[in-house]
Structure 1
Amino acid sequence: MLLIHTGGTIGMVPSLEGLMPGAGIVEAAVGKRARVVSFEPLLDSADVGPVHWNQLLDLIEAENGPVIITHGTDTMAFTGAALAQALAGWPHAVVLTGAMHPLGLQLDAEVNLELALAAEPGPGVWLAFAGQVMPADRLIKTDSQSDAAFRAGAPSDDVVPAWEKRRFAEKRLAVLTLSPGLPPDMVAAALGQLDAAVLRVFGAGTIPTNPALEAVLQAAGIPMRAVSSCENGGLTKGAYAAGAALWRVGVQNGGQETVEAALVNLWLQL
């Protein structure tokens, strides 16, 4: 079995500035139970992005079998969504894991790693964490301190397509949170720098009723996908007149997608 070690808390050591990735820690814990390929340099997950998602996809597809990935928790939901969507239809299991504490302390890292090594969840992308093996396509990190830091969001009802090679292009995407009083000129400036954007909107799908804001969205000329700022329930198109502007200008309805899943969806559209 292949284990890809990207970095993250699970393999970190103390430094004068706080925890940082340390070489050889995950390899020592795994021993001969898996073949370990480590990123060079090892990464705090805050530094993981589309280039690294493509690197993971190359390694996964070359292995053509079950794969475990050790990864930091801060962007685990982004990587989970990226791999799940890019590997839709892939016939093997990819199991992500990480920890809130480093290996060697006999806390959650050892337990999570053992769970990942033993898991046989079937095809798909999964997260082994805090005693659970859950789908990784719509992960939500609910706690920055607790060992039980994740839950799985609402499952996708999309039909799983046949597998094909998918990669993330060098594009400029971002998540924009629409908040009360947000100046339309600021939204215009941000959208003008992007190739696509996720709009994090209110509740079931509303935004401030402002003709200037609607004009900005209309003129953006890029794909935009809306998701709710609420963890549960998602968007309901047509529920409120205050959200009508979104659909008039052609913003995509992300439904119950997480922010991370919506961003990945847009990236793969490009």
Structure 2
Amino acid sequence: MRLLLIHTGGTIGMAPGPEGLRPVEGLVEGALAALLPPDAVLETHVFSPLLDSANVGPRHWNDMLSAIRAHPDLPVIITHGTDTMAFTGAALTQAMAGETRRIILCGSMVPLGEGGDAEGNLQLALDAALVPGAGVHLAFAGHLLPAAGLVKHDSHAADSFRAQPQAEAAPPRRRDFDAARRLAILTLSPGMTAELLSAALSVLDGAVLRVFGSGTAMEDPAILGALAEAVAAGKRLRAVSQCEAGGLTPGTYAAGAGLWSTGIENGGLETPEAALIHLWLN
């Protein structure tokens, strides 16, 4: 049996240093190797330098995808920091839609060797990776969660992730990420000015817009005009709800009519992270 470990960095592979937690080379690889059955062979792809997940972005997703595709028949464990785990979960799920691979993401809130959750999460990831099947999942706090719609809902608790249901990902137009594309997540808020929104959209190729509830926005002609102008200029705008669950239902409230008249796309049940990845790949 062979298994691929992609170690990107994150808390799971850190240890205390003079200025706080820092990555330690070999820590994750050694811990996973010690858990393997005697006949197992561990292949590794280790990022250099190891990353705090706050620094993970499109080119790193491409690196992960290249390593996965270079080992076509192996189950994969990816160790990763928790802060951008939801983005990476959505990125891999959508980029590999239709590809029958088993990919298990894993991280922790406390490093290996510190009496926290790391060892249990890594064992769960290994057990999950060795089970037949396909898809991208997160092994965390005793749960195996589908990675398409992850939400980190707590910044400190061991059980810090939830998974929101997502529509089944269709094969995307692209299978990798163009790091030159300028995309972002923007949030409507009371008092936001059209000038602020226009300024942000002027330097972007597209954006996810977090709107209110089931799909409403302020009935401000200037705000709606800024959105319509961006869409007319060819910028992809995709709406998602500011609520963690439930998604969007256009037409429920009259206060949403102006929003939908701008030509903005309906992200439906998508999390902001999933919607952003959709813009990158489609």
Residue deviations 1:190-248 (CA, integer Å, cap 9, x gap): 00000110000110111111000111111112000000000111110111121112221
| Superposition pairs of residues 200-219 of structure 1, within 5 angstroms | 200-219=210-229
Give the distance between the partners of 1:203 and 1:213, measured in 2 at CA. Answer: 18
8 Å contact 1:51–1:168 — kept in the other structure? yes
Give the distance between the partners of 2:45 and 2:177, measured in 1 at CA. Answer: 22
After superposition, the Cα gap between the structure-2 partners of 1:164 and 1:266, relative to the gap in structure 1 and judged at 3 Å, is closer
| Amino-acid identity (%) | 57
Equivalent residue in structure 1 for 2:145, among 131, 134, 155: 134
**Equivalent residue letter for 1:40:** S
Instruction: Report the alpha carbon displacement of residue 121 of structure 1 after superposing the two structures with TM.
Output: 5.9
Give the number of equivalent residue pairs.
267
Q: Which residue does 2:39 correspond to in 1?
A: none
Residue deviations 1:2-50 (CA, integer Å, cap 9, x gap): 0000000000112333212221110121226322221000000000000
8 Å contact 1:6–1:43 — kept in the other structure? yes
Residues 1:55 and 2:63 aligned together: yes
Q: Which residue does 1:153 correspond to in 2?
A: 164
Give the distance between the partners of 1:185 and 1:107, measured in 2 at CA. Answer: 47
| Superposition pairs of residues 75-86 of structure 1, within 5 angstroms | 75-86=84-95
Give the distance between the partners of 1:113 and 1:139, measured in 2 at CA. Answer: 18
After superposition, the Cα gap between the structure-2 partners of 1:233 and 1:164, relative to the gap in structure 1 and judged at 3 Å, is closer
Instruction: Report the alpha carbon displacement of residue 258 of structure 1 after superposing the two structures with TM.
Output: 0.4
Give TM-score, length-normalised by structure 1. 0.95
After superposition, the Cα gap between the structure-2 partners of 1:27 and 1:53, relative to the gap in structure 1 and judged at 3 Å, is same
Structure 1 residue ranges without an equivalent (≥5): none
Residues 1:260 and 2:268 aligned together: no
8 Å contact 2:45–2:67 — kept in the other structure? no
Instruction: Report the alpha carbon displacement of residue 157 of structure 1 after superposing the two structures with TM.
Output: 4.3
Give TM-score, length-normalised by structure 2. 0.91
Give the distance between the partners of 2:67 and 2:145, measured in 1 at CA. Answer: 22
| Superposition pairs of residues 1-270 of structure 1, within 5 angstroms | 1-31=3-33, 33=36, 34-64=42-72, 65-119=74-128, 120=131, 122-157=133-168, 160-161=170-171, 166-169=175-178, 170-220=180-230, 221=233, 222-269=235-282
**Equivalent residue letter for 2:261:** R
**Equivalent residue letter for 2:116:** L
**Equivalent residue letter for 2:275:** A
**Equivalent residue letter for 1:45:** S
Aligned-CA RMSD value:
1.4
After superposition, the Cα gap between the structure-2 partners of 1:237 and 1:164, relative to the gap in structure 1 and judged at 3 Å, is closer
Give the distance between the partners of 2:208 and 2:144, measured in 1 at CA. Answer: 28
Secondary structure of the structure 2 residue equivalent to 1:19: strand
**Equivalent residue letter for 1:138:** G
8 Å contact 1:121–1:133 — kept in the other structure? no
8 Å contact 2:173–2:281 — kept in the other structure? no
Give the distance between the partners of 1:246 and 1:63, measured in 2 at CA. Answer: 45
**Equivalent residue letter for 2:60:** H
Give the distance between the partners of 2:142 and 2:276, measured in 1 at CA. Answer: 28
Structure 2 residue ranges without an equivalent (≥5): 37-41
Secondary structure of the structure 1 residue equivalent to 2:228: helix
Instruction: Report the alpha carbon displacement of residue 155 of structure 1 after superposing the two structures with TM.
Output: 3.0
**Equivalent residue letter for 1:25:** L
Residue deviations 1:133-187 (CA, integer Å, cap 9, x gap): 11100001111111111111023245x44x8860111201000001000010000
8 Å contact 2:201–2:207 — kept in the other structure? yes
**Equivalent residue letter for 1:95:** I
